[in-house]
Amino acid sequence: MPPAPRKFDTLIANAAACAGLVLLPACQAPLPAEQSAEEETHTVHRLRQEPHRAAVCIARNADKYPSRVIATIMEGVAPALVSVSVTEKKPVARVRLFVEGEGSRAEVAMPPLTPERRNAWIAVMLEGC
């Protein structure tokens, strides 16, 4: 006697087909465009500390900020020795640190912000570094 068709298998197959139809439009939606480098503002700052210590200083300053700011220290992409990414739900700044004399040079890239907000962020991040 051949096995009877299993209702459970049919139910699963139908559910998978329906889920595919429901998710298909979402899969076809265009991805949000990433921010281009032209939209960023770039500033250069001279720091007293060497790049690794400056990166820790920037991360520590970000941790002191009253909102939920996350600073991530990463290995730099040559010629930068080290890099720090600062986010507050969205990217706030990317700081690339280079050896310069006995200290370092910080190249800060930020998304478009008002000059007041940009200057406030830079002051907070680089204080004492």
pLDDT at 38 (0 to 100): 55
pLDDT at 46 (0 to 100): 97
pLDDT at 25 (0 to 100): 40
* E-only strand ranges, the chain: 41-47, 70-75, 82-88, 90-100, 103-110
Domain-located, residue 116: yes
Mean pLDDT calculated for residue range 63-82: 88
pLDDT at 101 (0 to 100): 92
- Torsion sign across C-alpha atoms 20, 26, 30, 33: negative
pLDDT-derived band of residue 65, with 50, 70 and 90 as boundaries?
Answer: confident
Domain count, the chain: 1
Task: Assign residue 48 the CATH number of its domain.
Answer: 3.30.310
pLDDT in tens, 74-129: 998 889 999 999 998 888 899 999 999 999 999 999 998 889 989 999 999 999 99
Domain that holds residue 119: 37-126
pLDDT in tens, 25-63: 433 333 334 444 558 899 999 999 999 999 999 999 998
Backbone angles phi, psi at 128, to 5 degrees: 75, 5
Domain-located, residue 20: no
Domain-located, residue 73: yes
pLDDT at 40 (0 to 100): 87
Domain-located, residue 43: yes
Domain-located, residue 59: yes
Domain-located, residue 32: no
Peptide bond into 112 cis (omega under 30): no
